[in-house]
């Protein structure tokens, strides 16, 4: 398509070769900048109005395996037993000097009961009971407020009342809300504070890196504005989506991280290519068309790869895990939309002003980096030492992954001064290690005697409460089984399995520890399926993008290698505790259970992001020259600086989360940061270019029958 336009940077009228569909889209956005800005302003105004409430509106729980036996037990407990389920709120009341039946303690228990009875989200309130929820010395009691709402609403209920409850402490009486709902309430609060702290650190660091990379204040600031637009839009979109289906607050946490990291990634690639195109085209609109026809295709395919990788996580039957994936997909989709529409409009409006505020060192900066060109020549001349060295490093770091252990987070994921942890530790000290994680058994009343006898004979069960009949006379009874180990102890899984095996078929076992273990089992079962789906879809997308099966397969394999290396490092740090004192955490002896599923999808998506950038640039030069050496060297020369800068930004963003006090965001930041560092340093800038060198023309070969099946995609723009 050829448009005749007046260039914003020239006085002459020149034809614009817009190239393919994305080139035409870019030219249209650049030519209608005011309309694009107006549309985005309207959208951001609407979505931005909802965005500030994102952390208070989104759900707090959803950590369950849908359809699991433990979830069924919780549902039955809420329906027939006054809400005395795993979602019930337990309030620990303790005094060093007075008994739980003292006048002062009874007054506090009465005040607690009043709080719960005035909120319809709570069910039956059960006072502390001798022998079960009162400590042997009589100084500690546990009041239970049943759950009369969903797990998400129960977390919000704790959010609403925990300050009022803890304020009842005083005059020698201590009050601590605890239980699963309180755990998620305190953890979400600590996690939100950690994410905000990390974001505050990451933005200035990001701006500094981009100023150094671009050498221009305007060029460096544009990606941040683009990212902010995508972040506001995704936050507002998640709030609106939450009105339809509960969305975990973790979805926004991940969305914030990825909107910043990928938004800057995409904008870096586009802006860098636009600045180069300005030097060879008649004006800004033509430069935008060329940029979107080349770099725009790579960004679109990269974004699609990220979305496809994350979509594989949606098969896990766990609401929290699914909505975390949805959160990132929302952020990526909005950032990608902004990159395809808002950014071309801004570039068209700015024209050569994109270089305004240039630093002295960048006045003569070229898009084709001489340093990365020299590096490309070195890799071309001596491929084997670099190939062997990079492979040895990645395999060595990958080896520990075979000893990786995973489990659901323990109480250590919340700060030591959080009320839920203080209550948890007090219950353990007074009632035994397993007291915070009682197992619940629901069975027909006619099997209760047989169930009780079988449960008492299970090794690891130290106490069983008498059968409690259902409130609605449904013919069911509930018993509470006290394990003799901490809920996060690795032996808990064996105790649960033995208990379920020993009980009659009509009995079901649940409780918070059982829900965690059932979720972990589901994650373990789905993990290999997700890995297979991601690898297959990643290969297919690379094949469609590059039209070359050899390099598509190699790009997929090396991405898998860098992902395995990142998990190997994660095992050394978070399971074995290497560097734990430096990073300020106590190792749990395992990686959080959702980590492998989610981090694999995220790391692989990021790795493929860089793969597309490098190989798309290399293919563009191969299409123009037909020379594999030129493709390899110029692919690095034209994309190396952008990949290096984008990786530096991502590493900075992710490593700021290592400053978090809660362990899960610390795990997330360090694992993703290490993954990006390894992928950029060892794979994209060493191993993959070497593989291009060794493959030669074969890297870009494709059989005729395959070319007939695949859509025609070219990364070259012929002026």
Across 526-552, average pLDDT: 93
Complete edge-to-edge strand list for the sheet that includes strand 122-126:
122-126, 140-147, 89-95, 173-178
Which of 191-205, 268-282, 327-341, 467-481 is the least confident region?
191-205
Instruction: Return the pLDDT at 6.
Output: 37
Residue 253 predicted with pLDDT over 80: no
- Contact (CB, 8 A) for 492 and 517: yes
pLDDT band at 197 (very low <50, low <70, confident <90, very high): confident
Tell me how far apart the alpha carbons of residues 486 and 488 are, in angstroms, rounded to a whole number. 5
Residue keyed to tokens 């009949």: 469
The angle, 0 to 180 degrees and rounded to 10, between the axes of the packed helices 180-214 and 419-431 is 140
Q: Hey, is 644 helix, strand or coil?
A: helix
Which of 26-40, 307-321, 347-361, 584-598 is the least confident region?
347-361
Which of 61-65, 315-319, 357-361 is the least confident region?
357-361
pLDDT tens-digit readout, 145-164: 999 999 999 999 999 999 99
- What are the structure tokens assigned to 276, written together? 């180069």
3-state secondary structure 58-115: CECCCCCCCCCHHHHHHHHHHHHCCCCCCCCEEEEEEECCCCCCCHHHHHHHHHHHHH
Tell me how far apart the alpha carbons of residues 466 and 149 are, in angstroms, rounded to a whole number. 26
Tell me how far apart the alpha carbons of residues 87 and 179 are, in angstroms, rounded to a whole number. 7
Tell me how far apart the alpha carbons of residues 202 and 256 are, in angstroms, rounded to a whole number. 11
Q: Hey, is 715 helix, strand or coil?
A: coil
Residue 8 predicted with pLDDT over 50: no
407-to-340, 362, 520, 597 alpha-carbon distances in Å: 41, 50, 7, 12
pLDDT tens-digit readout, 256-266: 777 777 888 88
Residue 1 predicted with pLDDT over 60: no
Instruction: Return the pLDDT at 9.
Output: 45
Tell me how far apart the alpha carbons of residues 144 and 135 are, in angstroms, rounded to a whole number. 15
- What are the structure tokens assigned to 505, written together? 């078929």
Residue keyed to tokens 């070359």: 548
Tell me how far apart the alpha carbons of residues 514 and 94 are, in angstroms, rounded to a whole number. 27
Instruction: Return the pLDDT at 718.
Output: 56
Tell me how far apart the alpha carbons of residues 484 and 491 are, in angstroms, rounded to a whole number. 10
Query: What are the backbone angles phi and psi of residue 416, rounded to the nearest 5°?
Result: -65, -25
The end-to-end CA distance of the chain, in Å, is 12
DSSP code of residue 681? I
Q: E strands within 7-63?
A: 13-17
695-701: long-range contacts, CB 8 A cutoff, minimum separation 24? 695/550, 695/551, 695/554, 695/628, 696/628, 697/628, 698/550, 699/548, 699/550, 699/551, 699/554, 699/628, 700/546, 700/548, 700/550, 700/551, 700/619, 700/622, 700/628, 700/631, 701/548, 701/549, 701/550
Residue 559 predicted with pLDDT over 60: yes
pLDDT tens-digit readout, 649-704: 888 888 887 777 778 888 888 899 999 999 988 998 999 999 999 999 999 999 99
- Contact (CB, 8 A) for 313 and 595: no
């Amino acid at each position: 398509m050829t448009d005749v336009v007046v260039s914003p940077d020239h006085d002459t009228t020149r034809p614009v070769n817009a190239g393919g569909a994305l080139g035409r889209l870019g030219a249209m956005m650049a030519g209608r900048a005011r309309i694009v800005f107006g549309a985005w302003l309207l959208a951001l105004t609407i979505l931005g109005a909802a965005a500030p409430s994102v952390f208070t509106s989104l759900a707090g729980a959803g950590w369950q395996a849908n359809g699991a036996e433990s979830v069924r037990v919780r549902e039955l407990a809420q329906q027939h037993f006054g809400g005395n389920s795993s979602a019930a709120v337990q309030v620990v009341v303790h005094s060093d000097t007075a008994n739980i039946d003292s006048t002062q303690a009874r007054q506090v228990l009465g005040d607690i009961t009043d709080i719960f009875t005035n909120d319809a989200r709570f069910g039956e309130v059960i006072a502390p009971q001798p022998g079960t929820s009162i400590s042997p010395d009589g100084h500690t009691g546990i009041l239970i407020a049943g759950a009369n709402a969903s797990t998400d609403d129960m977390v919000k209920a704790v959010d609403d009342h925990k300050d009022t409850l803890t304020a009842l402490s005083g005059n020698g009486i201590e009050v601590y809300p605890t239980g699963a709902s309180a755990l998620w309430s305190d953890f979400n609060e600590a996690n939100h504070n950690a994410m905000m702290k990390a974001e505050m650190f990451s933005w200035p660091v990001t701006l500094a890196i981009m100023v150094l990379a671009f050498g221009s204040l305007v060029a460096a600031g544009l990606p941040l504005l683009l990212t902010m637009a995508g972040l506001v839009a995704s936050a507002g979109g998640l709030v609106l989506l939450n009105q339809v289906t509960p969305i975990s607050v973790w979805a926004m946490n991940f969305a914030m991280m990825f909107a910043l990291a990928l938004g800057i990634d995409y904008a870096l690639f586009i802006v860098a290519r636009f600045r180069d195109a300005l030097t060879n085209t008649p004006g800004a609109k033509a430069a935008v068309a060329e940029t979107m026809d080349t770099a725009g295709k790579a960004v679109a395919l990269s974004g699609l790869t990220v979305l496809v990788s994350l979509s594989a996580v949606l098969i896990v039957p766990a609401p929290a895990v699914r909505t975390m994936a949805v959160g990132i997909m929302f952020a990526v989709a909005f950032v990608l939309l902004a990159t395809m529409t808002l950014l071309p409009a801004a570039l068209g409006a700015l024209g050569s002003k994109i270089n305004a505020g240039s630093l002295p060192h960048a006045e003569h900066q070229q898009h084709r980096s001489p340093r990365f060109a020299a590096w490309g020549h070195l890799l071309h001349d001596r491929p084997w030492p670099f190939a062997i060295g990079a492979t040895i490093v990645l395999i060595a770091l990958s080896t520990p992954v075979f000893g990786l252990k995973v489990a659901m987070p323990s109480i250590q994921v919340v700060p030591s001064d959080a009320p839920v942890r203080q209550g948890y530790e007090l219950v353990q000290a007074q009632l035994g290690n397993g007291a915070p994680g009682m197992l619940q058994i629901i069975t027909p009343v006619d099997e209760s005697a047989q169930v009780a006898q079988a449960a008492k004979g299970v090794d690891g069960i130290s106490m069983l409460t008498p059968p409690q009949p259902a409130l609605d006379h449904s013919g069911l009874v509930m018993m509470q089984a006290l394990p003799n180990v901490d809920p996060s102890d690795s032996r808990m899984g064996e105790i649960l399995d033995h208990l379920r095996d020993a009980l009659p078929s009509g009995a079901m076992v649940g409780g918070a520890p059982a829900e965690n273990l059932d979720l972990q089992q589901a994650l373990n079962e789905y993990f290999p399926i997700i890995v297979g789906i991601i690898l297959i879809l990643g290969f297919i997308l690379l094949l469609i993008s590059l039209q070359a099966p050899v390099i598509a397969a190699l790009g997929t394999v090396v991405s898998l290698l860098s992902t395995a290396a990142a998990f190997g490092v994660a095992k050394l740090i978070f399971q074995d505790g290497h560097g734990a004192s430096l990073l300020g955490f106590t190792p749990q002896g395992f990686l959080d259970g959702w980590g492998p599923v989610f981090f694999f999808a995220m790391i692989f998506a990021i790795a493929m992001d860089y793969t597309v950038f490098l190989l798309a640039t290399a293919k563009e030069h191969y299409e123009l020259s037909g020379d594999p050496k030129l493709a390899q060297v110029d692919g690095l020369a034209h994309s190396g600086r952008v990949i290096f800068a984008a990786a530096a930004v991502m590493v900075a963003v992710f490593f700021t989360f290592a400053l978090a006090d809660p362990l899960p965001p610390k795990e997330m930041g360090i694992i993703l940061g290490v993954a990006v560092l390894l992928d950029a340093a060892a794979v994209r800038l060493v191993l993959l270019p070497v593989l291009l060198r060794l493959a030669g023309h074969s890297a870009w070969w494709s059989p005729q029958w395959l070319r007939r099946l695949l859509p025609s995609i070219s990364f070259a723009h012929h002026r």
